[in-house]
Copies of this chain bind each other. A is one copy, B any other.
């Protein structure tokens, strides 16, 4: 719902400002696109959307800003098997189902209690000392609904 999207946007924007980065129109637009998207776009996908509002935008600028957002942990990078990086504006706890054929990425719900019961336990038993974990990834590779149907009908 709109309300949540906006608060997410505000969170990112205020973090950007607090950390001393300037808020340019291009940067704001990139933040909007990536935070509102549900489709895990690549840098080029973001670039293509941007060009409507900013026809002169440089792809480099997109990469720079997505890297910035990633470095402050406001977007998550996802790597599919067709080896380009995709960006997720939803940094909440969840996993991904990645289609090995078409590359489509869809969200997989994980709730907090699952996390406590599994990830947290794994971290505790595997990384006792001198190891700092600040992120996790959970992926299910296979065939998405569409590609599954195609394969079945061969």
Contact = CB atoms under 8 A, between A and B. Distances in A.
Given A83-B85, A108-B126, A122-B95, A137 B138 contact: yes
Nearest to A143: B132
A150 to B, nearest CB: 11
A132 B145 CA distance: 8
Interface residues of A, number: 38
A38 B122 CA distance: 20
Interface in A118-154: 118, 122-123, 125-127, 130-145, 148-149, 151
Interface of A: 77, 79, 81, 83, 85, 95, 97, 100, 108-110, 114, 117-118, 122-123, 125-127, 130-145, 148-149, 151
